[in-house]
Structure 1
């Protein structure tokens, strides 16, 4: 069956990506072990001609010259999305072409209209159901391929959207092929009359209508303008499409039903895993406690004391539920800081067992939330309305979910951040400085470049950076460059020390990168998290210098 070949194609791609992932992990491990006591790391700083060409022209390349993550903005509330990378486009075009080929190959189009339409109907219907398996797999927060293949949720989210369009087109082609075949024997009126009178056909038509509605309401314009409404409608329509398709297949006991079983299992698994995470992280030991602080620049610092300990790693994110702000809505935020402390009263006996010790530990996580529209705007307004700008509320945390790769194997690390994108950089800075002090990482230079609109935005992370700047051997490894794009006066711009410097305006990414590469130690990692324009500029600078040194690009993005 052609549907089996389609799954085989996806399986082969998965195996190839897994082999690439294992190779990359092995290289990083060897590099880390080799460079632990090597302060020059010259071998790993040199660029490889062929690999540099691949990274510049394939792996990191946008479709055209520069634009990838910068959105096509129609207004402050409306945009039409972003462009995929060159590799993503090759996969999408190739997969779409494979589906088209499987729908029409070996069909004799010189035959009668009815016979050709019947063959197309069977092919498109079968493939539409089969494609729902990767469609639902890529939509899940607990998608095992994220960890297994090292591919970000953001990439899977993009693939999910395009696979959804393929499923919809095949469902529409399936429905039209039936109508054409039926109309060729009677009339169009008779074809539609049969569709709505026969339950088997009616449920199939309902499923197709749900697919079309999903693709319309999931378009970037509606998704960004009415995100909360979109999300609820998206789930409701997805459930309707499964119910309609289930009855459509079950009434005739069609063989495609076994693929729908897999779809339902994937959806139930993801929802169950989310509920288990929520219950485990938030129930017991007094539950979670949350403090929301309104900060300058329209942002909030959300600090959550968890019910259970959590082994935090840099780059992780979590979904926050705040019933008092948005009933049963969940929104993803990067964990900006974590602390762990012991909690027990004076009357309690000292813990003796390991379970008791862990039970007394409390993990605290902090997030920076920029108030915009919808949930984030309501959260900031609610906190700012309190006399002291602080609000205690109820919050459930779902996570942790995987973030960016750890950067321990890189001799030089540059972290670019724009605005609240600093939440991705700060945990890496603390992790790398601690690792350098302990001698457990290959990193010898860490440069953090943060672009903000006003110096008052420094308050977002001031308590955490005070702790980082007090860390042992920090001055030997860390430099911080702050760029204020809209200073009110030159008096606001002052550099506290040689390792913490402040400048007016926006950074020249290419100049900064070139300066660091002149004294590069080992392989360099360049990470970016912030507005799409900043990410695209950093990507362009990294690509342009691929032949000058061994440089890897790490982009943290969360498109929705």
Structure 2
């Protein structure tokens, strides 16, 4: 074929130089076509990414209420997983129910393997970079599938007429797995979580012992499965034991109150507890991570010394950090700050105490998002949800301030939207935002803009510095003369800002769903914007303030005065 083309060119163009010229033009045309094809391919890939994110990753079909939210992609993966399990059980069984029973047992044990990495985050989960809620979702439903397959094994053994062996061990496994299945549903986990954890661990240990007993009696060659499960479980306890060395040198508790009016009575109650922990050892912390905290004190139960609870790291000050900035608070040693909104159990006991003898923790754990790789970052929070996103803003600004690392930071625009549940929340959120504002002012080019939405008219001066010549911080009150909503802010950035964009949200489930919907609407094929929900998931649908029967007293409203808000100069990156 090649010789035919050359002969044809020699016939048409006798001159060698002309032939080379024609060949060069043809090669140039092919190269141009390839470049165009690459651009078209890139556009197709970008369009597919937009379609995939909008209609599969970010489309939630089961919203988060008392359980984890489920996206379209997660639901499809679950359906495929069920189909594969069903295929493996029923494929070529030749109407032999004993074969089906054996396959159900093997699949049940195989599906148990990830479960014994525990329902909490650990080293293996951290290496896989699984978000905490995805790990919980996998743990819950994989466990239920494994238990159902175990019961199917029992049913098919009895219906197939197979010789029954090791009935006591099988009954032990059935009883414990049944207990695990019943206690895994919402009412037990939600209202008696600490009791649920202890019962869950106990039943899991008994079921593992029963499985070992059963396998030894039926088929000793498969004893490797329970041994593997036990090894994974013990491996998960290694960081737990190591965490006992991470202790506090000093612990300070600060309580912040809010007013609630019920009927004709107004009283104060604790809204948020700030726990500042000065550590004895240096700890590597990344933004968005959390720790499993263990507390000791006279107001706590004996069991609190042996169990840990996850809390988000809101702020930290390493011993060897960037140079201290003027007006920025710091501690003498490595320290972390945790914000806790009391609910029940341990959080309520922490809010009621005045003294913590000491704390230790396992971690830090959790997925840290590389937000510094995005040109435009929007952090959106409601109420105590500020605790889940503040560390990202601090981290990006600290990287920008560090001469050795600022070249790796792509972020040019950092927006922080905070919707307060009550004006009093400024008491605990304001100092942290003021610290963040001071760090931002030290940069050669400011990147931070804070948008604060208060539910009531303000009766006192704001905590943060309001400079008429700057728009680094904006207050919005009800009926303000000028108002920019979260939806307007995100939509404007999506439409007018160049580069990669991401939105990180933290708050109640309905609030996060609204932000997710806003992000999906702001997406368009030529410029996708990504969305991530923080690992910190508020357990309740409503905040404590929203549970109150009435709002602020009439007398306080009468003293309220609106603050004049000037139109901000919004600059797009």
From 254, 261, 275, the equivalent of 1:293 is 254
The aligned residue for residue 57 of structure 1 is: 55
- In structure 2, the residue corresponding to 1:521 is in which secondary structure? coil
Taking structure 2 as the reference length, the TM-score comes to: 0.74
Further displaced range: 431-440 or 362-371: 431-440
Give the CA deviation at 1:322.
Answer: 1.4
Give the CA deviation at 1:219.
Answer: 0.5
Decide whether aligned partners of structure 1 residues 145 and 45 sit closer, same or farther in structure 2, where only a CA change above 3 A counts.
farther
The aligned residue for residue 230 of structure 1 is: 196
Give the CA deviation at 1:478.
Answer: 0.7
Distance 2:180 2:421 in 1: 38
Aligned pairs for 1:129-528 within 5 A:
129-137=109-117, 139-148=119-128, 150-182=129-161, 200-276=166-242, 278-282=243-247, 287-297=248-258, 298-324=271-297, 325-326=300-301, 327=304, 328-341=306-319, 362-383=333-354, 391-437=355-401, 438=403, 439-440=406-407, 441-471=409-439, 472-473=442-443, 476-485=446-455, 487=456, 489=457, 491=459, 496-497=466-467, 498-504=471-477, 508-528=485-505
- Cα deviations across residues 257-310 of structure 1 (Å, max 9, x unaligned)? 21222111110000122211x13322xxxx543222211242101111112011
Decide whether aligned partners of structure 1 residues 129 and 91 sit closer, same or farther in structure 2, where only a CA change above 3 A counts.
same
Give the CA deviation at 1:463.
Answer: 3.1
Q: Would you say the 8 A contact 2:451–2:473 is kept in 1?
A: yes
Give the CA deviation at 1:537.
Answer: 1.2
From 85, 89, 94, the equivalent of 1:103 is 89
Give the CA deviation at 1:511.
Answer: 2.1
- Cα deviations across residues 416-438 of structure 1 (Å, max 9, x unaligned)? 01122212222211222233344
Decide whether aligned partners of structure 1 residues 142 and 490 sit closer, same or farther in structure 2, where only a CA change above 3 A counts.
closer
Give the CA deviation at 1:141.
Answer: 2.2
Further displaced range: 164-173 or 398-407: 398-407
Taking structure 1 as the reference length, the TM-score comes to: 0.76
The aligned residue for residue 63 of structure 2 is: 68
Distance 1:460 1:490 in 2: 16
Give the CA deviation at 1:179.
Answer: 2.6
Decide whether aligned partners of structure 1 residues 474 and 528 sit closer, same or farther in structure 2, where only a CA change above 3 A counts.
farther
The aligned residue for residue 122 of structure 1 is: 102
Which aligned runs of 4 or more in structure 1 are off by greater than 6 angstroms?
44-47
The aligned residue for residue 25 of structure 1 is: none
- Cα deviations across residues 292-335 of structure 1 (Å, max 9, x unaligned)? 22112421011111120112211111011113334223111111
Q: Would you say the 8 A contact 2:450–2:473 is kept in 1?
A: yes
Distance 1:466 1:47 in 2: 42
- In structure 2, the residue corresponding to 1:290 is in which secondary structure? strand
Distance 1:125 1:213 in 2: 18
Decide whether aligned partners of structure 1 residues 442 and 546 sit closer, same or farther in structure 2, where only a CA change above 3 A counts.
same
Q: Would you say the 8 A contact 2:121–2:366 is kept in 1?
A: no
Q: Would you say the 8 A contact 1:493–1:504 is kept in 2?
A: no
The aligned residue for residue 535 of structure 2 is: 557
From 524, 535, 541, the equivalent of 2:512 is 535
What's the C-alpha RMSD, in Å, of the aligned pairs?
A: 2.7
Give the CA deviation at 1:239.
Answer: 0.3
Decide whether aligned partners of structure 1 residues 529 and 509 sit closer, same or farther in structure 2, where only a CA change above 3 A counts.
same
The aligned residue for residue 93 of structure 1 is: 79
Q: Would you say the 8 A contact 1:451–1:507 is kept in 2?
A: no
Q: Would you say the 8 A contact 2:314–2:339 is kept in 1?
A: yes
- Cα deviations across residues 239-260 of structure 1 (Å, max 9, x unaligned)? 0100111100112343332122
Give the CA deviation at 1:507.
Answer: 7.8
Q: Would you say the 8 A contact 1:45–1:521 is kept in 2?
A: no
Q: Would you say the 8 A contact 2:366–2:535 is kept in 1?
A: no
The aligned residue for residue 6 of structure 1 is: none
Q: Would you say the 8 A contact 1:135–1:163 is kept in 2?
A: yes
Gaps of 5+ in 2: 1-41, 259-270, 321-330, 540-573
Distance 1:379 1:333 in 2: 12
Q: How many residues align?
A: 454
Q: Would you say the 8 A contact 1:323–1:329 is kept in 2?
A: no
RCO higher in structure (CA 8 A, sep ≥6): 1
> Which structure shows the higher helix fraction?
1
- In structure 2, the residue corresponding to 1:304 is in which secondary structure? strand
Gaps of 5+ in 1: 1-43, 72-78, 110-115, 186-193, 343-359, 384-390
Distance 1:511 1:434 in 2: 28
The aligned residue for residue 10 of structure 1 is: none
CA radius of gyration, larger in: 2
Q: Would you say the 8 A contact 1:292–1:393 is kept in 2?
A: no
